[in-house]
């Protein structure tokens, strides 16, 4: 186990499962402690039990609620006595053809994926200012840039593209405070991300996807994304990874899905 991040504290939103939990595990493996945010108490409790209560602390909060986020961040900093960084990972998708998009699901994705990133960044800035090597890492998606990602995720992809554009301005504004800002753009990995999706809408998206090409990239584990975040926040003072893309590199036929 490396101790490169020994004693540092990072908030990870959406930290109870998937990429978020993998990110938390990678940070802890390098000596850090993590404050996890999730909307689900049971999932949060399970994640903290797995990591260990000496290394993890959790708060139930919706990233789209600005007041709740500010209170949660203050609580985490008080618990650990410091804060060194934020990983804006919380995100969700609701697949559907554009013609059939449901208003509630559109607004939920925009509020969680993009507005949540904005609110969390705002809450973190004053708590990070003056730190020895503070960091904000925003998690995007290959769907924001590549055309051969799964079909019928237009709103999800658009919100992640907005996150990338927002990150550019955030980086420029926070240089004066010495806060390093980075964006990580992961491709697909086997997670529980699609749990709860409408099965009919999901199947329609998968069928549409088969017409965009014969093969898909696969083979990446969530741990690789976690390690990418640990690498980014481990950069020395005055150095920040701008954009890091990590994608699977093994081809399989889409028809095998």
From the candidates 160, 182, 234, 254, which is the catalytic residue?
160
Catalytic one of 16, 26, 38, 234: 16
Place of tokens 């960091």: 135
| Cβ 35 vs Cβ 88: under 8 Å | no
**Active site includes 16?**
yes
Determine the distance from the C-alpha atom of residue 37 to the mean position of all C-alpha atoms in its chain, rounded to a whole number. 11
Contact call for residues 60 and 45 (beta carbons, < 8 A): no
Q: In angstroms, rounded to a whole number, what is the distance separating the alpha carbons of residues 134 and 131?
A: 6
* Marked catalytic residue, from 26, 38, 70, 140: 140
Q: Sheet containing 135-139: give its strands across.
A: 56-60, 33-38, 9-13, 85-88, 135-139, 180-186, 243-246
What's the token pair of residue 88? Answer: 């804006």
Active site residue 215: no
Question: Is 2 a known active-site residue?
Answer: no
Q: Residue 172 to residues 101, 124, 136, 245: CA-CA distances in angstroms? A: 35, 16, 12, 20
Q: Is 160 a catalytic residue?
A: yes
Q: Which residue in 70, 77, 121, 156 is the catalytic one?
A: 156
CB atoms within 10 A of CB 129: 13
Give the orientation angle of helix 66-80 with respect to helix 116-128, to 10 degrees.
Answer: 40
Mind telling me the catalytic residues? 16, 140, 156, 160
């Amino acid at each position: 186990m490396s101790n490169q991040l020994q004693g540092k504290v990072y908030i990870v939103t959406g930290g109870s499962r998937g990429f978020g939990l993998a990110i938390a595990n990678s940070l802890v493996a390098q000596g850090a402690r993590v404050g996890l945010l999730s909307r689900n108490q049971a999932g949060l409790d399970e994640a903290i039990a797995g990591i260990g209560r000496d290394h993890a602390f959790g708060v139930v909060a919706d990233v789209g609620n600005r007041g709740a986020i500010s209170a949660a961040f203050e609580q985490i900093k008080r618990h650990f006595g410091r804060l060194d960084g934020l990983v804006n990972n919380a995100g969700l998708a609701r697949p559907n053809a554009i013609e059939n998009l449901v208003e509630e699901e559109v607004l939920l994705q925009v509020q969680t994926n993009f507005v949540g990133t904005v609110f969390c960044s705002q809450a973190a800035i004053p708590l990070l200012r003056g730190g020895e090597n503070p960091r904000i890492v925003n998690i995007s998606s290959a769907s924001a840039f590549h055309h051969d990602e799964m079909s019928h995720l237009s709103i999800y992809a658009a919100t992640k593209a907005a996150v990338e554009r927002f990150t550019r301005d955030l980086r420029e504004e926070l240089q004066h405070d010495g806060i390093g800002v980075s964006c990580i753009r992961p491709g697909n990995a086997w997670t529980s991300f699609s749990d709860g999706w409408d099965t009919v809408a999901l199947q329609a998206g998968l069928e549409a996807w088969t017409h965009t090409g014969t093969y898909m990239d696969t083979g990446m584990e969530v741990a690789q994304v976690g390690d990418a975040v640990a690498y980014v926040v481990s950069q020395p003072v005055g150095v920040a990874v701008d954009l890091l893309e990590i994608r699977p590199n093994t081809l399989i036929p889409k028809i095998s899905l």
